[in-house]
Structure 1
């Protein structure tokens, strides 16, 4: 019995020794880190007691040396199989650099963690492989010594408030595979030295204040799979060397000020793996050449809002994997090539706001998987909706605004597209009434028939479309009551302006119309009194009732519209005084009563 007790005593003593085995420098560094944190909602730091730091939650040590190798205290954790966001409020202690055996630092997503990256970080952490500080509130610049972290593989500093220039020393991180600095305030140019990081797989610098040119030798990053320089102030042409990125699968260069021609591949062995190409919202010029067809792995391409011109190449038909194509807001001309019918995987085709001409290729009827078709505002002069379009059963969105369509809205459209989500036939030459069969489109979310010559009342059947969120009928010749617009829908956007509606103003705010954000009833013949129920439109941001014949006093309840940003009431017959409560409309930056 005594021998057993002796063994237990020795075991407890041994465990105690191990528990106390913590390097004094590491212990002090972690204690200093804890002292800098005022609030830790996870309770992890509260358990950091005694001298056995290797047993503390979030700390890992080397079994041989006893030195701390990892700090894992992320802000998003899982408890009871549910995600939990941790708040750690305080300052990042510079003493963290005294943990000289560290290989991993994960202090990501702690939200209220402030401070700087210690300027000496590169001199004291030679073993560091992962530095994850994203999603915090850290400030200051990225120290030049960062380039001394010769073993660093992943550097995630995104979603902070870092500023200053990117150091040239970044180019010394030869082991780096992932560099994410997006969503900060870095300025200056992208250092050319970044092209030395030949092991980079992912490079993300979006949403900063970077300017200047994309490094000329960017194509040297042969291992790169994802590149994102969007939302900066970069200028100049895209370097020709970008076509050397043979491993790349995603390129995001959108929302910059890039100019010049796009260096599309000159041969089939350039960028053979490219799956996503996003260059929209720039100032790119030139044409889309026949060599575009070499990008046979392309699944999604967005070249919208540039200055591209010329005709679409017939080689588009080679992109057999293409599912989404966005070419809107350019200066493209000519006809859609017949080879478009070969894109059997295509889900989205958007070529609006160009100069595409008739005849419209009937080969589009072969795109049996097509869900969204947007040919709006081209030089098509369709006269009528093509018969083959009715046969595309998979269509969820039809956008043919400004295409010269005449006559009445064809009933066949309703009988074959009951699952339609969006229908935009605005800015055409449609005549006749709004058909009652529109009520059969029970899944419709957007209906835009504005800027046509439609007459008569809004049919009562339109209230059957319970999912309708956007209703735009402005600039027609519609008349009668508007009551049904306010009967039990989930509408968020309503524009009935520039018509001859006369009755129904008393229904505003009644029923369940509490989701409306934008309401425009201006330039009609509406009469009567604005009801107090208008105050029930709690989410209303814009209200335009100008140029009608609405009379009586303004209801005091309008002062409760705390979300209102724009209010126009001029050219009516309101009487009395403006209610004092209108001073509470603090968000309203534009209010019009007269004029």
Structure 2
């Protein structure tokens, strides 16, 4: 009898009885029984014995063994994308699916339990997706028996314990993502055996120890992210071994040591992204950075690098983003920086770079974001060519030693600027009225200067303005117009307003604060504002910080203030507020900081949280005030 005849007879026999292997059927029924809620109702359709016809199940046409269990949380329902949920425990019987090649339970949000210890029985498994759930416990050593595994995503769970040494046996693995868990201990040295690995993501865990010494053996690695851990020591690998690497991210660790990059041209020809920010890297920026001809993004921010920028920086012809902020770099910017014609973002703030800026920077026609704040530039004046850069939208020159008035030629950028920061300089004179032409401006910071006069009325034209910081100047006049600004967008408007430490002195009682309902931070402290607080202050539903301290406000505290229900910081000290503290203040359950001291308040402090949680100093200096945490009220004081 031929093989084909036997196969046909076998198929006929199976179609007359069960078409699902008993072990597979048991495993799937046990899985279903472990789930007590399925918002997609897929498991509800799992009925009968023919599991190969169940939704999310795929079987081999010949053996009729289950090869795929596909129940991802994100799927298409009614021709639209939908997030679905399964709540329950992952059955250990899943290990009975010994012909399984794909197991996808990712993104179900509420799926719990552990990876079964016998998962090593699934020797045919190629893809394991369990991300974005609530799994916990360790990854079992038997995971190392999955020799055919190509992709494993366990990210965004609560897995814990050490990474098993057996991971190094997964020689077919191309993508490994264990990020956003609670793994601890060291990265096993066996990881260097994963010679086919393209993506390695271990960020946001509690890993300690050193990076494996021979991690440079991963020749085809394209993306390495081990940020947000507690790793120590130097970066041990010779990066020039990564012939195809396209991204390295080692941020937010405690790594130490110098940066070992290739020392001759032609090495690392495919390197596109280098991100080593937020570490403790030391040393200088070596000149062989210029050999990385394909580099598009270089981020070394927030380390301890020192010395000058290499003179051959301009050889990085493909460079689009350069982040060097928060280091100890010194010297002048090299003239070759003008050769970076593809550069879009340049951030070297918080260093010790010296001026003047090279005129060659005027050739950076694609530059969009320029952050030079807090260096030793001592610019005295802003170079005229800065305002003519055709793509520039964000200009940050805080703490650069700029003097005199805000120059008029900056008006040339009126149609482009979205962020404009000249804070912590030596500017004098008035805020120019032409700023009202910056129709796309979202962030304006002129704080910590010596600007005087009034705020120009044209500022009400800034319909996109979300952040306005003018604190620590000598500005005067009314502040009402800032609350008259109308956003051109339905969800627009100021979110941050700081006018503190100025000479504003008007009465704001009639001001309609309700026009700025998106404001989260409002600081008018250390001025000469007087009169009553407007009752419309209760309309600020998004307000988290309110500081009106050190002014001359009188009257009672408005009951409507209690409507600002998410308020976290309330500072009203050093005014002349009178009357009782409104009982409605007990509704401010988010309050973390409160200061009502040195006013004329009286009566009993409303009893209850959060008012009970603050110290006596929050209420001191109010002679008529009593009750916890101050002295007990007498009948006369009540």
Partner SS for 1:162: strand
Out of 410, 416, 420, the residue aligned to residue 417 of structure 2 is 420
Deviation track 1:417-436 (CA, whole Å, cap 9, x = no partner) reads 32210110111111111111
Matches within 5 A, 1:195-234: 195-234=192-231
In the alignment, is the contact (CA less than 8 A) between 2:24 and 2:96 conserved in 1?
A: yes
Is 1:139 aligned to 2:136, yes or no?
yes
1:409 is aligned to 406
2:615 is aligned to none
2:257 is aligned to 260
1:9 is aligned to none
2:605 is aligned to none
2:25 is aligned to 27
Out of 317, 322, 338, the residue aligned to residue 335 of structure 2 is 338
Out of 399, 422, 426, the residue aligned to residue 429 of structure 1 is 426
1:79 is aligned to 77
Report the Cα offset of residue 394 of structure 1.
Answer: 1.2
Report the Cα offset of residue 507 of structure 1.
Answer: 5.0
Matches within 5 A, 1:426-575: 426-489=423-486, 490-507=493-510, 510-575=513-578
1:153 is aligned to 150
Deviation track 1:259-315 (CA, whole Å, cap 9, x = no partner) reads 111112212243221111111111111000111111111111111111111000011
1:394 is aligned to 391
In the alignment, is the contact (CA less than 8 A) between 1:508 and 1:534 conserved in 2?
A: no
2:89 is aligned to 91
In the alignment, is the contact (CA less than 8 A) between 2:461 and 2:485 conserved in 1?
A: no
In the alignment, is the contact (CA less than 8 A) between 1:486 and 1:507 conserved in 2?
A: no
Please tell me the root mean square deviation across aligned C-alpha atoms, in Å. 1.5
Change (3 A) 1:539 1:352: same
Partner SS for 1:339: helix
Q: Which stretch of structure 1 is more off in the superposition, 484-493 or 469-478? A: 484-493
Q: Which stretch of structure 1 is more off in the superposition, 309-318 or 484-493? A: 484-493
Q: Which stretch of structure 1 is more off in the superposition, 188-197 or 239-248? A: 239-248
Q: Which stretch of structure 1 is more off in the superposition, 263-272 or 564-573? A: 263-272
Deviation track 1:127-170 (CA, whole Å, cap 9, x = no partner) reads 11111111111111000111011111111111111000001000
Equivalenced residue count is 582
Is 1:371 aligned to 2:368, yes or no?
yes
For 1:588 and 1:19, the matched residues in 2 are separated by 68
In the alignment, is the contact (CA less than 8 A) between 1:509 and 1:535 conserved in 2?
A: no
For 1:64 and 1:112, the matched residues in 2 are separated by 35
Partner SS for 2:238: helix
Partner SS for 2:570: strand
In the alignment, is the contact (CA less than 8 A) between 1:109 and 1:134 conserved in 2?
A: yes
| TM superposition outliers: structure 1 runs of 4+ over 4 Å | 13-16
Out of 297, 302, 306, the residue aligned to residue 300 of structure 1 is 297
1:109 is aligned to 107
For 1:60 and 1:240, the matched residues in 2 are separated by 43
For 2:258 and 2:21, the matched residues in 1 are separated by 59
For 1:52 and 1:511, the matched residues in 2 are separated by 63
Report the Cα offset of residue 561 of structure 1.
Answer: 1.2
Is there any run of 5+ residues in structure 1 with no aligned partner, and where? 1-12
Deviation track 1:193-219 (CA, whole Å, cap 9, x = no partner) reads 010110101100000010110000000
For 1:416 and 1:108, the matched residues in 2 are separated by 48
Change (3 A) 1:101 1:440: same
Q: Which stretch of structure 1 is more off in the superposition, 222-231 or 413-422? A: 413-422
Matches within 5 A, 1:259-298: 259-298=256-295
Change (3 A) 1:266 1:415: closer
Report the Cα offset of residue 517 of structure 1.
Answer: 0.3
Change (3 A) 1:239 1:508: farther
For 2:339 and 2:15, the matched residues in 1 are separated by 72
In the alignment, is the contact (CA less than 8 A) between 1:19 and 1:52 conserved in 2?
A: no
For 1:319 and 1:507, the matched residues in 2 are separated by 58
For 1:291 and 1:513, the matched residues in 2 are separated by 52
For 2:35 and 2:455, the matched residues in 1 are separated by 63
Is 1:130 aligned to 2:127, yes or no?
yes
In the alignment, is the contact (CA less than 8 A) between 1:245 and 1:270 conserved in 2?
A: no
TM-score, with length taken from structure 1: 0.96
Matches within 5 A, 1:308-319: 308-319=305-316
Partner SS for 2:31: helix
For 2:114 and 2:347, the matched residues in 1 are separated by 45
Partner SS for 2:580: coil
Report the Cα offset of residue 18 of structure 1.
Answer: 6.9
Report the Cα offset of residue 42 of structure 1.
Answer: 1.0
For 2:200 and 2:341, the matched residues in 1 are separated by 32
